[in-house]
Structure 1
Amino acid sequence: MALPTDIVTVPAEEVWFNAPCLSEQVTALKLSNPGNRLLGYKVVSKVENRYVVLPSQGALQPKKDITINIICHPFPFRSESPPVDTLIIEWVDAFESETDFNEDWFVMGGIVRKKVLSVKFNP
C-alpha cells in the first residue's frame, strides 16, 4: 500500500502565540493537499484544555487547502520555563467511494501519516 501524499502546512514547522497568554488568542493554520486523492485529517494537541482546533478533523480534497483556527486559552505563563507544546496533524487516504469525513479511515484505512508542529510563544 502506498503512502498518502504529504500534507503541506503554512506555517511549516511552528505556530506562534503572544505571551503572557492573559486572553484568548487565535492563529490560523493552512493545510494543503497537493495530491490526487481525498485525504482525511485530524489535528490534536497533547494539552487539551489549552488549545482548541476548529475544525479539528475533516476531508481535504485533492489540490485544495483549508484554513483552520487554533485557539489558545489563557493560562499562567512562566517566561523562565515556557511550555513545550505541540500540535499533531494526522492524515490518511480516504476510502475510494466516500467524500465525507469518516473516522474509520484512520482505524480500518491505510497508512496514517503524522506531522508535529511546535507551539511557540513571543516574549
Structure 2
Amino acid sequence: VLSKGGFEKIAIADPKAAPYGLAAVESMRKLGVYERLSPKVVTGSSITQAYQFVDTGAAELGFVALSQVVSHKEGSRWIVPATNHTPIDQQAVLLKPGADSAAAKAFLQFLKGPEAKAIIRRYGYEVR
C-alpha cells in the first residue's frame, strides 16, 4: 500500500515530539518510500491525534499504536516490524509526590506482575 501510494493522506504523530512519529518516519525511510510520501503526510501533535485523523477519515491511513486499533474488527492493519525503527521504550515511574503513597506503590507493584503483563501484551506491547 505504501509503495503504490494510492491515497491522499497518511497520518503520523509529530516525529520531533512523539516516539511513534519518529518510528513512522524511520519505517518509511527503511522501506524507501518516505521521500515520495512526505507530501501526503499529515502530522498530529501526538499518536492520539494521528489516530483521530485516521478514525475520522481525515487521512486514509496512518501509523498509529496497535493498542488504539487492537479491538477494532473493521479496517485493516499491518504491524510494523520492530526492525524498521528504533525501539520505543515505555516505562512507569514513581514520582516523588507519590513516594509515600501506598496506592501508588501498590499500582507500580501490580504493573510488574503477571496479570498486568498479560494485559499489556494483549494491547500489542512487549514486556521485558
TM-score, length of structure 1 as denominator length: 0.20
The structure carrying a bigger strand percent of its residues is 1
Larger Rg: 2
Give the structure, 1 or 2, with the largest relative contact order (CA under 8 Å, sep 6 or more): 1
